[in-house]
Amino acid sequence: MQSGSITASIDLPTVADVLRWLPTFCILDCFNVTILGCGSAKPTLRHSPSAQVVNFRDNRFLVDCGEGVQVGLCRSQVPLGRIGHIFLSHLHGDHCLGLVGLISTLGLGQRTGEVVIHGPADTERIFRPLFEFFCPQLSMEVRFEAHDTQHSSVIYESANMRVTTIPLHHRVPCSGFLFEELPRPRHLLVERCRELDIPVAYYRGITLGNDWTDPASGQVVPNDLLTSPGTPGRKYAYCSDTIYAESIIPIIEGADLLYHEATYAHADVVKARQRGHSTALQAAQIAQKAHVGQLVLGHYSAQFLSAEMERPLLDEARTVFANTILANERMVVEVGESTKGQSTKDEI
């Protein structure tokens, strides 16, 4: 062996190793939405009231909490104990009357830690007394966070995710929610860094946007010469209930996935506006103008009693926005470029 040379034995991973690691990799990158309920105010045998779970890297966020939400969570095999934040769009019963039962069940399970309920200004005034009566001596803390339904604002932020309100136009104060993955770190141009003899210890800071200053010469190398743009964050927008409102477009622009209410077909557009709702065609127009990746229709009127009766909603939406599907209970829709247009259940 020549002087100064280094040899090393490297054990490559086996297929079994890859299969064992794969679930962990999937969890760390998952971003999907599970539909628990996509009906509207009047109960039907076909659909449950509004509720869904956003799963981001195994963190579960409950969005709206209509009656039957606990059954939906069980059927979709969503662990109740993983829900730490609940987002209420507004205080109509089909979006919030499942809340007391859910909190009660969490208490019976001796849940610890904190559950945060995000909602309009009156949420705590209405629900705090109900919790005190039906759920005394809870083992966890329930905290209410009120938000302004008339202005868009950030109401939750972690190291990887941000949730922003979307002011909607309904008969009562109402907000949608934009779940946005924060931009990933910039990609390091390793060969360029090696050419400049930049120590490896500085690589992390460079991927986070720092420039490099040569300690010998004092020369500053701009970050954009050492990195390339990181992978854009994925976005999911939830918009229910609302009339047709182009004011939401700048907020949801470019979202990978949009859930938009479609209570009626466009033949009932006058009734839809009078009751503070949208038609399937209007939802598609919003999706098209906002350049979203995929549209999911939901919040169906009780008049649609079968899959065949719901089909015209899909047909009219697809005349404007082709990548549209109909929501259904237990449907799981992926958020992101690699799965755009795909779901794990049939459209109807």
Catalytic residues: 94
Tokens of 44: 């039907």
Dihedral (Cα; 204, 206, 210, 211), 10-degree rounding: 150
286 DSSP assignment: H
Please tell me the distance from the alpha carbon of residue 46 to that of residue 309, in angstroms, as a whole number: 12
Q: Return the SS3 of 262.
A: coil
CA 319 vs. chain centroid, Å, equals 26
Q: Return the SS3 of 83.
A: strand
CA-closest candidate to residue 326, choices 290, 296, 299: 296
Tokens of 233: 């964050």
Q: What burial class does residue 3 get, using C-beta atoms within 10 Å of its C-beta: 0-12 exposed, 13-18 middle, 19+ buried?
A: exposed
Q: Report the run of H or E that residue 252 belongs to, with start and end.
A: helix 249-252
127 DSSP assignment: H
Asked if 163 and 155 count as a contact pair (C-beta separation under 8 A), the reply is yes
Please tell me the distance from the alpha carbon of residue 129 to that of residue 318, in angstroms, as a whole number: 45
